[in-house]
Structure 1
Amino acid sequence: MNASASPSAGESASGSSGGSAGGSVVRLGALVPLTRPGWVDAGRQLLAGLELAAAEVNDGGGVGGRALELVVRDTAADPERAVAAVEELAGLGVAAVVGEYHSVVARAAAARADALGMPYLCSSAVLDALTEGPTEWVARLAPAQSHGWRTYADFLLGAGHRRIAVAIQPSAYWASGTRVLRERFAARGGSVVEIGVGIGVEGTSVQGLCDALVGERSTALLLLVGYPEPAAAIVRAVRGDRRLGEVLIGAPAGQPEFAGWAEALGGDGAGIPFLRYLPERLGPLGERVRKELRERLGEEPSFVAFEGWDSVTVLAEVLRSHGTERADIAAAWPRVEVEGTRGPIRFSRTPGIGVWQWVWAPVRVVDRDPADITGRFRVVHGEDVL
């Protein structure tokens, strides 16, 4: 492991010097939620993908003979902490910044990167308005929220749901997702009811949420809340309420993707559809990376780990082909094309989105199989988009 400039707790540098010449390195800053209230399961998966790709780049000779080094900073789902990290990383001389899972955190990081002239490749955050306006400095691999959540709305509508409820906490991300759902349902004569959960005087208790679901006669409840809590508590309450036996629980943000979900909920966590950005079947590259990630993680990798691997692989190609100057990296977004684990990756401009966007990673709606909640996912809706 290469050393960074005095990393503190929760902050580290990683990479392999194998295959590179001399002591010179090319540094990438990496933003990852590794402590609560961040989704730590997602952060662990993201970091595994970032680190595996960096190690493979270095085993293959690095970047022009220079080792690729990740300088990791824990955002803990805190936008202000992310802004400070971007500023620090810029001062440390990183060529670019990569990573982050939480949309509101990535939005803060993207705004600061744009202001500083720092290339930033966002791995996993999906909020459409990642920046206030068009920028040349920021690109994104994850599909935009409007694209994925429309797919999820279509799944619900196709399954016959016309009146759904969302258990929601205050957040720009949850509010944006609700708007997407509401617009899609309104176009088909459906409706979306919001039930605020557990924060402030207007927050509804878990029992109050169950009572509201009965009163609203909603046929589905979506968990637009934090993970693991209060999401797990809501699932247990709804599953245990005989009045709600026919209500579908859904989680478009992907909480059931992570192993901790199955550990916390057991059988109650099965059959809860969520968005997953993986094809139904991986190609040869994806399968190879999946095996390497599984060995590194000690569990099956989530789609977030693949996003991490793809992100560093894209940046490594940019660095090799266009150099390590920040302006040259940003100028390369529309010209780079890389074979990723989930298909060919290239960036373009998309209406309504200010960053360079991969259009699109595969989007599917899946759930955990009740017959094997820890190891098997069922595809319930979606087509590969490569």
Structure 2
Amino acid sequence: MPARGPSIRIGALVPLTRPGWVEAGRHLLAGLELAAHEVNDAGGIAGRPLELLVRDTAADPRRATAAVDELAELGVAALAGEYHSVVARAVATRADALGVPFLCSSAVLDELTDHPTDWVARVAPAQSHAWRIYADHLLSAGHTHIAVATQPSVYWAAGTRILRDHLAPHAGTVTELDMTALTPTAVCDELAANGATALLLLTGHPEPAASIVRSVRGDRRVADVLIGAPAGQPELTEWATPYGTGIPFLRYLPAPLGPLGERVAASLREKLTTAPSFVAFEGYDTVKALTSALRTHGTTRADIAKSWPHITTEATRGRIHFTRTPGINNWQWTWPPVQVVERDPSEPGRFRVRPT
């Protein structure tokens, strides 16, 4: 029987306008909404429906912080979502200060807060965990001299540091190319001069990332240089073009999906009218985990914050269980599945899983 009592409000934070990654926001919201709809169709939480109060963060930390304040005043039981790491850090910091539980869906930056907190948990993997897997993939493919085209950002700086620290014991090196000072053509000049065999895109999307790819692939001097995007840009359909193929990136899905994942994938495809990305599954799994907390531990903010270490629920990508992880101040699912994949150049709609 559908839920009919007073609603339990959940604040859903997603990037739905530029400069946020709008397609990622759409997929994240689709997953959140689908799971909430299923919960309500099954009777809700002790007869009370889940109500998502959606706020657009537009990749703006200040706008997201203001949304947290508003949602807290509206009495939400918890916050969920967000894709951009710098924005999620702002949300986590404010949620921690206000005592509002925040279950982060997609942002991977290790340090969501400056100190250990019980108010924040995360279903996405930590950046240090996933990007080390990516570095191992590069090493296994014979790449020890890596260049990174990067822009100023806490997230990109953290990624560069993770790569450098992980490659160094294997005689690997990382050369930074500052995209505030270089044009895409100048990137090709730098690659030709320094002999890097792989170039990673630690930059904004669609620009300058798209122009860098086109320049590198159009320059015979660097035709053999691998282009990579560990942040996962080619997962979404904006990259399903010839320039977006053959670029290995991180994707947080198992191979293959289980029965629940397959069922949810079919529903998400119908909702989105396109193949769901891993971001949509992260949204769905976020509500699954919150539902487990609400049903088994209570619906107050304090109840939810105390529930993280006790949650165990089957989600689309495996069984979620939160733990304390060294170097990470929030409760963390350890670990969702991590793949390195690329779009097939001969069939851009198909993904090839690369060895790790």
Which category of TM-score, normalised to the shorter sequence, fits these structures?
over 0.9
- In the alignment, structure 1 residue 273 sits paired with structure 2 residue 256: no
1:226 to 179, 200, 204: 204
1:329 is paired with a residue whose SS is helix
**Partner Cα separation in structure 1 for residue 2 and residue 294 of structure 2:** 17
Cα displacement (A) at 1:268: 2.0
**Partner Cα separation in structure 1 for residue 217 and residue 159 of structure 2:** 24
- In the alignment, structure 1 residue 136 sits paired with structure 2 residue 118: yes
Task: Report the number of matched residues.
Answer: 356
Q: How do 1:9-158 and structure 2 match up within 5 A?
A: 19-22=2-5, 24-158=6-140
User: What letter corresponds to residue 232 of structure 1 in structure 2?
Assistant: A
User: What letter corresponds to residue 260 of structure 1 in structure 2?
Assistant: E
2:150 to 149, 168, 172: 168
2:347 is paired with a residue whose SS is coil
1:350 is paired with a residue whose SS is coil
**Partner Cα separation in structure 1 for residue 8 and residue 63 of structure 2:** 24
- In the alignment, structure 1 residue 335 sits paired with structure 2 residue 310: yes
Residue 284 of structure 1 is matched in structure 2 by 259
1:31-90 Cα offsets, whole Å, 9 max, x none, are 101111111111111000000001000010011111110000000001111111111100
User: What letter corresponds to residue 345 of structure 1 in structure 2?
Assistant: I
1:200-222 Cα offsets, whole Å, 9 max, x none, are xxx21111111111111110000
Structure 2 unaligned segments of length 5 or more: list them.
none
- In the alignment, structure 1 residue 349 sits paired with structure 2 residue 332: no
Cα displacement (A) at 1:21: 2.2
Structure 1 unaligned segments of length 5 or more: list them.
1-17
Residue 14 of structure 1 is matched in structure 2 by none
Tell me, yes or no, if the aligned pair for 2:239 and 2:245 is still in contact at 8 Å: no
**Partner Cα separation in structure 2 for residue 107 and residue 268 of structure 1:** 32
RMSD: 0.8
**Partner Cα separation in structure 2 for residue 96 and residue 34 of structure 1:** 20
**Partner Cα separation in structure 2 for residue 206 and residue 322 of structure 1:** 53
1:175-227 Cα offsets, whole Å, 9 max, x none, are 00000000111110110000011x3xxx2111111111111111000000011
**Partner Cα separation in structure 2 for residue 121 and residue 253 of structure 1:** 20
**Partner Cα separation in structure 1 for residue 344 and residue 255 of structure 2:** 15
User: What letter corresponds to residue 339 of structure 1 in structure 2?
Assistant: E
When normalised by structure 1's length, the TM-score is 0.91
**Partner Cα separation in structure 2 for residue 300 and residue 246 of structure 1:** 31
Residue 189 of structure 1 is matched in structure 2 by 171
Q: How do 1:236-247 and structure 2 match up within 5 A?
A: 236-247=214-225
**Partner Cα separation in structure 1 for residue 299 and residue 312 of structure 2:** 17
Cα displacement (A) at 1:280: 1.4
